[in-house]
């Protein structure tokens, strides 16, 4: 199986991941995450077995886990409960253990995402390829304004996070959820992680934000931070889906416009409210 970031090959007991990009220490991140999880949350993620290189590219060989990727249908109650427990186990890993392995902040983490979005949103963008350029431009202007005017909450780096929780990175064996793909993982905070997860384009019709937040057990303060960070990740996906960026050609026509509508609804909501669902397709 090949993605734009890595290639996977399997035996009956092992999975080999060959990285196609490693400029941001992706293999080191994943190896460190899997190593600390094997000690402090065994069974939650693949056990790392060995590292190497193949045709010049770094590789990691890890235990092959049982289960099938989520994503074909919305999560049922048992799956949501199990995923909530899995994420809570991840967040309960001692911070000192992650830091001891030189694990820094996750990619696009709480301390950098807002700055990255501000720079990315400046463009310029040629929106003529969009189905409704005026709608997309309105959402882009609203995003720039929101990023400029809304107070930034102080970044917290309090837990180990997976970063990319595309439903394909959650394996379900009929009773337990396990997590794979930690190449972007690192230090983060629960509210930031969950905001990323529920706004992921692939998870729109899979994760229910309210029930997943409850399953993880966010506090009242964390729920407020979750709403704040969720706006950031909605803007992230709007930018990803603009012409010239990687998501535009990988998704069906109309996906950009659906995301523009989602962003406009979200930014118009009162703080703490969650946006109405949409039916975007990946």
Tens-digit pLDDT profile for the chain (282 aa)? 556 789 999 999 999 999 999 999 999 999 999 999 999 999 999 999 999 999 999 999 999 999 999 999 999 999 999 999 999 999 999 999 999 999 999 999 999 999 999 999 999 999 999 999 999 999 999 999 999 999 989 999 999 999 999 999 999 999 999 999 999 999 999 999 999 999 999 999 999 999 999 999 999 999 999 999 999 999 999 999 999 999 999 999 999 999 999 999 999 983 533 333 333 333
**Do residues 107 and 233 both lie within one domain?**
yes
Cα dihedral sign, 123-128-130-132: positive
For residue 209, being part of any structural domain is answered with yes
pTM value > 0.85: yes
CATH no. for residue 208? 3.90.1200.10
Q: Are 102 and 13 part of one and the same domain?
A: no
39 and 107 fall within a common domain: no
Q: Which token pair is 173? A: 């064996």
Phi/psi at 224 (5° precision): -65, -40
Q: Looking at residue 5, what is its pLDDT?
A: 84
Beta strands 6-10; 14-19: pairing state: antiparallel
Chain-centroid distance of CA 33 in Å reads 15
* Whether residue 200 is found in the same domain as residue 217: yes
For residue 278, being part of any structural domain is answered with no
Q: How many domains does the chain have?
A: 2
Based on the fold, state whether residues 220 and 170 are members of the same structural domain. Answer: yes
Range of the structural domain that residue 81 is part of: 69-111+117-268
In a domain, 46, yes or no: yes
CA 180 to the chain's CA centroid:
12
Residue-wise pLDDT for 139-183, tens only, equals 999 999 999 999 989 999 999 999 999 999 999 999 999 999 999
Cis peptide before 117 (omega within 30 of 0): no
């Amino acid at each position: 199986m090949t993605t734009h970031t890595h290639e996977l090959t399997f035996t009956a007991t092992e999975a080999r991941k060959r990285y196609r990009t490693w400029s941001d220490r992706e293999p080191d991140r994943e190896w460190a995450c899997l190593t600390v999880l094997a000690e402090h949350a065994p069974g939650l993620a693949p056990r790392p077995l060995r590292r190497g290189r193949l045709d010049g590219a770094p590789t990691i060989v890890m235990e092959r886990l049982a289960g099938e990727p989520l994503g074909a249908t919305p999560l049922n109650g048992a799956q949501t409960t199990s995923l909530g427990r899995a994420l809570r186990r991840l967040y309960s890993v001692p911070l000192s253990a992650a830091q001891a392995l030189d694990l820094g902040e996750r990619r696009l983490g709480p301390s950098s995402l807002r700055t990255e979005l501000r720079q990315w949103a400046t463009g310029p963008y040629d929106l003529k390829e969009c189905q409704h350029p005026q709608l997309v431009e309105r959402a882009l202007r609203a995003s720039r304004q929101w990023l400029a005017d809304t107070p930034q909450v102080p970044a917290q780096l309090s837990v180990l996070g997976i970063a990319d929780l595309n439903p394909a990175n959650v394996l379900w064996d009929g009773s337990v959820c396990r997590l794979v793909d930690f190449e972007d993982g690192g230090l983060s905070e629960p509210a930031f992680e969950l905001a990323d997860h529920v706004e992921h384009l692939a998870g729109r019709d899979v994760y229910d934000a309210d029930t997943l937040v409850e399953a993880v057990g966010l506090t009242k303060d964390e729920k407020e931070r979750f709403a704040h960070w969720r706006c950031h990740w909605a803007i992230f996906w709007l930018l990803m889906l603009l012409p010239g960026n990687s998501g535009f050609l990988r998704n069906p026509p109309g996906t950009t416009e659906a995301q523009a509508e989602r962003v406009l609804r979200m930014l118009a909501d009162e703080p703490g409210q969650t946006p109405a669902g949409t039916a975007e397709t990946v």
